[in-house]
Structure 1
Amino acid sequence: MSTTPASPDPTMEAIGGAVTEGRSGDVRSARRRLLALWSEIGVTGDPLHRCSLAHYLADLYEDPAQALAWDVRALDAADAVTEQRAQEHHAGLHIAGFYPSLHLNLADDYRRLGSFDAAAEHIDAAREHVPRLSQDAYGASLRTAVEEVAAAVSRRDTARRSSAPGPAV
């Protein structure tokens, strides 16, 4: 999804730069940059910044326990983001659209840790929010991932999904 901010946001630009760096293969540097930004933002900083940063940082950890810690932070921050704040960042952005991915990531973390009941709860929450996803490639990929994780939970499978975001192992 292409998003153009309503006004320049240097923190979101820095987060985006680190994400691009991580996706291009320099996970260690991307992680360092995001952790430094987290220190600047702080635990009481802008919830949109905290949510975005924690969501992307979680993907940079292969260890599901480390990813879980960041995914919990992302969900907590999302709960504090107002619709007005999301719209200030981008006119077409809605915080409700974050929840399918946030719950999916938590479900996958819990599943990989063998906590299948917690994983199932987050799959249910992701499914509740799926109708808010756009009817585009991103929405389709999330819908598919929700069903992949749900199937893995049913099988009691803790293996990393090949389609999971983050560093390849």
Structure 2
Amino acid sequence: MDPELPMVRLCVAGMQAEAEGRAEAARELFQQAWEGARDDYEACIAAHYLARHQSSPAETLRWNQECLDRADLVGDERVQGFYPSLYVNMGNAYRELGRLASAHRYFVLAAERVADAPEGQYGDWNRCAIAEGLRDTAAAAAAEGDEGAAARGRFDEGVEGPVRELFAAWCERGDLKALGLTLPAYLGYLGTDEDRVRLRSALHMVHAARWLPEEEQAAVERAMGAVAMS
């Protein structure tokens, strides 16, 4: 978007106010952006920021729904990359209200659109938020009759144990390199074949470098085998 557009300038100023801890000023700037939005695309962006500055979970949900509705009205490539985080925001809003089964449905939608998020840190953040949301809300969704809910985003028992043991060892001795290479794949695990390949590849990178103590090298081999068999 044109950085000189009034709506963009207001949102940039609002983000700066956020960064400086001036929440009320940020909210006022985003409200001005909303009121000055010229189309659904600009309204979608302004609503996203306004949702972050509401005083109640119900109002947060309302503005997140407004944001999602406006994105649907835009309906083109400009908003394609928004959907994973839009659905995550809806899931988090429902979770805050205690409506966990509804939250789960939005985390499932987010997982289905996760590939649309830009790559890099933003994409990794989305994957982690989706994975966490799926696991936190699965039991409630299953209790309401969603038979597949319990499996979504869950690790097989044979994978969870060996991998967490490795992380515990690396945390204890501060091996940030091993943690940095593997944690994104672990925290963003959504239970798909692609996720299993991603996690196994991350473990393989650590194993192939051969800087670990001998017992940890063997533990990584066991973890890779468990991921491959899951």
TM-score range (shorter-chain normalised) is 0.7 to 0.9
Match of residue 151 from structure 1: 135
How many residues align? The count is: 140
Match of residue 201 from structure 2: none
Matched, 1:63 2:56: yes
Match of residue 46 from structure 1: 39
Moved over 6 A (4+): none
Task: Give TM-score, length-normalised by structure 1.
Answer: 0.74
Match of residue 76 from structure 1: 69
Greater helix share, 1 or 2?
Answer: 2
Distance of aligned partners of 1:148 and 1:133 in 2 relative to their CA distance in 1, 3 Å threshold: same
Match of residue 31 from structure 1: 27
Quote the Cα distance in structure 1 between the aligned partners of 2:83 and 2:20.
26
- Which of 6, 13, 18 is equivalent to 1:10? 6
- Matched AA of 1:74: C
Quote the Cα distance in structure 2 between the aligned partners of 1:13 and 1:25.
18
Quote the Cα distance in structure 2 between the aligned partners of 1:73 and 1:118.
17
String of CA shifts for 1:120-167, please: whole Å, max 9, x gaps. Answer: 1101110111011222111001110111122222366xxxxxxxxxxx
CA shift, 1:101, in A, is: 0.3
CA shift, 1:63, in A, is: 2.5
CA shift, 1:37, in A, is: 2.8
Computed over aligned residues only, the root mean square deviation of the Cα atoms, in angstroms, reads 1.9
CA shift, 1:82, in A, is: 4.6
> Higher relative CO (CA 8 A, sep ≥ 6), structure 1 or 2?
1
Q: Report if aligned partners of 1:22, 1:30 keep a CA contact under 8 Å in 2.
A: yes
Structure 1 residues 114-123 or 147-156, which shifts more? 147-156
Pairing of 1:77-156 with structure 2 (within 5 A): 77-83=70-76, 86=78, 95-154=79-138
Quote the Cα distance in structure 2 between the aligned partners of 1:7 and 1:113.
36
Quote the Cα distance in structure 2 between the aligned partners of 1:148 and 1:63.
22
Quote the Cα distance in structure 2 between the aligned partners of 1:25 and 1:82.
34
Structure 1 residues 15-24 or 48-57, which shifts more? 15-24
